[in-house]
Amino acid sequence: MSSPRHIAVIMDGNGRWAAAKGLPRIAGHRAGAEALDRAMHLCRDAGVEYLTVYAFSTENWKRSEEEVGGLMRLLSIYISSKRKELKKNGVRFRVIGRRSDLSEKLQREIADLEAFTADGAFTLAVALSYGGRDEIVRAARKALSEGMAPGDLDEAAFAQRLDTAGIPDPDLVIRTSGELRLSNFLLWQAAYAEFFFTGTLWPDFGKDDFEAALAAFAKRDRRMGGRKQ
């Protein structure tokens, strides 16, 4: 069994991590951003080519103004402070989700970083204002607005209209903090993914957890709906 080409992560548990330390929730998200950098290095060292992370869901807008504002600022700081490092490390930055929900300033910063890192060999896709159902509805609307004939819309044509167009489906989805749900993440793309759940809170996610996830993946028998001969 080969290693996964694409890993997707539901980075859960930042708030609990902060609460356990008596810190504000945003401190947990800051530590979560550091865990993301760690995970990215681990992926690259392991030969993984794509990492997609759930950073902000369509539901997360319902959180307090303070937390939403703090997360948006953190994203903006991440984008400006990591610019050179991402480029140097060959990381192609990409955002999936309803980006029109984001401030115009953040949208510009994202578009600029995407263009600047477009030739990177490793892809970091960050899901922002993302919901799997929302993405599917937007893809369907896109096909309709293009005047596509119903008979021309097959799975490949549909996938090309998703935010993840050009990115292969995830082989492995990891969720931290002990929750056992998909929470509207990559609904279409995770059709044949393997799942790895760990009780570790995202800010504590490191080499041991990553290796445990890869070892579990290596033991899975991926038939993708087919039968072994």
Q: Which residues does the annotation mark as catalytic?
A: 12, 60
**For ligand FPP, which stretch binds (CB under 6 A), given 26-34, 44-52, 113-121, 221-229?**
26-34
Interaction residues for ligand FPP, span 180-209 (CB under 6 A): none
Give, as one character, the DSSP assignment of residue 4.
Answer: P
Q: How far is the CB of 126 from ligand FPP (least distance, A)?
A: 5
- What's the rounded Cα separation, in Å, for the pair 147 and 154? 14
Among 32, 97, 131, 170, binds ligand FPP (CB under 6 A): 32
CB of 73 to ligand FPP, least distance (A): 10
d(CA 52, CA 135): 15
Which residue among 26, 50, 58, 78 contacts ligand FPP (CB under 6 A)?
78
- Judged by CB under 6 A, the chain residues 95 through 154 that form the site for ligand FPP are 126
- Secondary structure, 3-state, 57-106: EHHHHHCCHHHHHHHHHHHHHHHHHCHHHHHHCCEEEEEECCHHHCCHHH
Q: Is 29 in the site for ligand FPP (CB under 6 A)?
A: yes
- Cα–Cα distance for residue pair 85/66, rounded to 1 Å: 29
Query: What's the half-sphere exposure (Cβ side, CA atoms, 13 Å) at 165?
Result: 12
- Kindly list the residues in this chain that would bind ligand FPP in the complex (CB under 6 A): 11-16, 29, 32-33, 36, 55, 60, 74-75, 78, 126, 177
